[in-house]
Amino acid sequence: MGEIKDHLNKNILIYTFICAIGAAVFGWEIGIILYSMKASFGKRFGMYNFNPTTKQWDDSDDKNLREMIITPSFTVGSLLGTIIVYFIIDRFGRSKSLCVASVIYFIGVIGQVSFGTVLTLCLGRLVSGIGAGIATTISPLYIAEISPKEIRGTLGVITSLGLQFGKFMACLYETLCLKLISNTTAQWRVALSGLAIPTIMFLIVVWFLPETPRFLLMKNRDEEALEVLSKLREKSKDEPSLTSEFNDMSSKLKVDMATGVMSWKEAFSDKSIVYRLFIIIILQLLRMLVGIAAIAYFSTQIYSKYLNIPTKTYGAWLATLNALINIVFGIPVIKYIERFGRRKTLLWSSFILFTTMVLTFVLCYVVDKTKNMVYGWLCVIVMYLYSITNCTGWDSSIQIWQAEVFPINMRARANSVGWFFKYVGSIIVTSTSSTLLKYLGYYTFWVYAAFCFIAFFFILFTLRETKGLTLEETENLYRNSEKSTIYNKNDDIKMKKNNQEKSDYGITNA
């Protein structure tokens, strides 16, 4: 922990926590799906009908179809947000793009709360999703670009914890609304209105974020870049360690940017870039296909249908407890992510995800055959372990690794591509889970277990470790030694050419 403290300071923490608030808005949005409010939200949006004979709320005939529309609407918006990032992040910068995201978030929240139809709810979630897509794509990249290499992973985990904190607050707030508000019209509206709490906070504080030094260097604003770096490290501009870091950053970045932002034609002609894009696309798809969205959105239904746990009594509280446990177990990762590294963390996470998903099926099967509630509660614990592993492993490490492995002239575009496919995977899972659970029942968990198994071997054979490297050093991870030598020679040629052009330009002006 001592090494972490050596590189942390007030400014770095403040800017990281601002990004974490943006992640908390995202977490609150995905944690506030009100399916447990059958008499208010469920009735209003046509998912449940009251049965006067049994005095129970039964599923409507088209419940799974409505869920297939409502649940992924936020994710569709997030996917659109990643596309918008592609056009604005290198033009307007990292901090200004996050400001845009905060405004869009706020508009989406107003849309969700103001009306009461499936259409307006989905449109509001779609707009909020656009803001989320922009924020979640840029925040990890922003943190990677402002962080010292020794704690880059640690700071990346803080944003992941921000997301989990948002989910916890959403679950707690929803549960309190469910237990304390009896008016069915007010219940779901007040619950949805809770989204305004983190959204307004983010809308206010995001404007205090400075631009990253690397983006300023991209725009040849070198003096501003040095000023910001000095502020980030809380060191004088003349201090040798700061000067050394700035010079190393600047020299490599100027080479990468000698020909401007990399075009897609140039990217596809570079096998190293193509390979990294391939890894990111598959990794982000697998991040969702392992089934975390299904567990997050439909956990209360799984408790009720397969584990015989009454959701009216326990469902909302179990979801709240799950979110709280994720935070508690996620905190130690702040310390150990730099010790274990990204690759090892992802490998162990994949193995545990596979094991817990298989155990979830086994325990659901046992409960179905024996009707023994002990196995049902044991399955809840296993599902908690699955969620904890995803939070502390996959969610923390994938976004960090993705923000690290691309050169500056391709970093923004590559991150947009990665997050785009993350949301593609999320749409696939959220739009099919309800139907899969309806027709396959708990055998659905075998589908997700298979993807966990695939993920383990994909990571084993493709991922290389990035811990302890500067963002400029990670560029050579996927280049063999011969190509790295050639690349470095080309760097020197580009740098000399760039410097010569600057000299010629200065002489011409003179």
Instruction: Render 441-492 in DSSP notation, one character per residue.
Output: GGGHHHHHHHHHHHHHHHHHHH----TT--TTGGGGTTS-HHHHHHHHHHHH
Model pLDDT, residue 227:
93
Assigned token pair, 487: 């690349």
The answer on 252 and 311 residing in a single domain is no
Spatial neighbors of 463 by CB under 8 A, at least 6 apart, are 279, 283, 342, 343, 346, 401
Model pLDDT, residue 315:
58
Q: Give the domain range for residue 255.
A: 210-259
d(CA 147, CA 343): 20
Residue 263 DSSP label: P
d(CA 210, CA 272): 32
For residue 88, how many other CB atoms are within 10 A of its CB?
A: 17
Phi, psi of 6 (to 5 degrees): -65, -25
Note whether residue 23 is domain-resident. yes
The answer on 339 and 406 residing in a single domain is yes
d(CA 24, CA 102): 12
The answer on 281 and 246 residing in a single domain is no
The answer on 470 and 486 residing in a single domain is no
CB 325 within 8 A of CB 351: no
CB 36 within 8 A of CB 316: yes
Note whether residue 501 is domain-resident. yes
CB 309 within 8 A of CB 289: no
Please, what is the Cα angle at 341 between 133 and 151, to 5 degrees? 70
Note whether residue 265 is domain-resident. no
What CATH number does residue 329 fall under? 1.20.1250.20
Model pLDDT, residue 34:
66
Question: Which pTM does this prediction carry?
Answer: 0.76
The answer on 136 and 29 residing in a single domain is yes
The answer on 491 and 366 residing in a single domain is no
The answer on 498 and 466 residing in a single domain is no
Model pLDDT, residue 497:
47
Note whether residue 484 is domain-resident. yes
Note whether residue 264 is domain-resident. no
CB 291 within 8 A of CB 429: yes
Assigned token pair, 224: 């501003």
What CA dihedral angle connects 105, 394, 323 and 441, to 10 degrees? Answer: 100
Assigned token pair, 354: 């596979």
The answer on 471 and 493 residing in a single domain is no
CB 164 within 8 A of CB 326: yes
Which among 409, 460, 451 is positioned nearest to 214, based on CA atoms? 409
The answer on 488 and 462 residing in a single domain is no
Model pLDDT, residue 340:
85
Note whether residue 442 is domain-resident. yes
Model pLDDT, residue 494:
44
The answer on 468 and 428 residing in a single domain is yes
Model pLDDT, residue 4:
66
The answer on 331 and 422 residing in a single domain is yes
For residue 295, how many other CB atoms are within 10 A of its CB?
A: 23
Model pLDDT, residue 433:
82
For residue 13, how many other CB atoms are within 10 A of its CB?
A: 13
- Given a cut of 50, the residues of the chain with pLDDT beneath it are 2, 481-510
- Last-in-domain residue among 259, 289, 324: 259
Residue 116 DSSP label: -
d(CA 353, CA 387): 8
CB 99 within 8 A of CB 206: yes
The answer on 251 and 111 residing in a single domain is no
Model pLDDT, residue 503:
37
Dmax over Cα atoms in the chain, in whole Å? 92
Number of domains in the chain: 3
Note whether residue 249 is domain-resident. yes
The β-bridge partners of 51 are 56
Give the model confidence (pLDDT) of 56-69 as tens digits: 777 787 777 777 78
Note whether residue 24 is domain-resident. yes
Model pLDDT, residue 396:
81
Model pLDDT, residue 275:
94
